[in-house]
Amino acid sequence: MPPLLWLIVALFAGGAGYLLAWPAWQSSRSRAPRDLNTERYLAWRGRAVRGQQPRDHEGMTGEERRRFLAGVALGVIGVLALVAFFATS
């Protein structure tokens, strides 16, 4: 395959991986403070469960995890295509 085609594949795969993974990552990270604020508000209003410790961040949802892993896979394809570009040029 010509080197220019490897470069195009690398750019598109890297860009697609970024566009897929970044929103899932941001969504997961922005949920943690929101959940903590909700628990604090409920405790302040007296509606929280007594004696319960604040929950830790639960992590990504299934959809976010799939999108993130698909973005990572596209990123790996982009890196491999970039290595192929340098190897063939």
Is pLDDT above 60 for 54? no
Q: What is the domain extent for residue 74?
A: 3-44+61-88
Q: Report if residue 55 sits inside a domain.
A: no
How many domains does the chain fold into?
Answer: 1
Model pTM? 0.72
20 belongs to a structural domain: yes
- Whether the CB-CB separation of 24 and 71 falls below 8 Å is answered with yes
Pairwise CA distance, residues 32 & 43, whole Å: 17
Q: What angle do CA 6, 9, 15 make, to 5 degrees?
A: 140
The pLDDT value given to residue 78 = 97
Looking at per-residue pLDDT, the higher value among 49 and 60 belongs to 60
Higher-confidence position of 30 and 75: 75
Residue 75 lies in a domain: yes
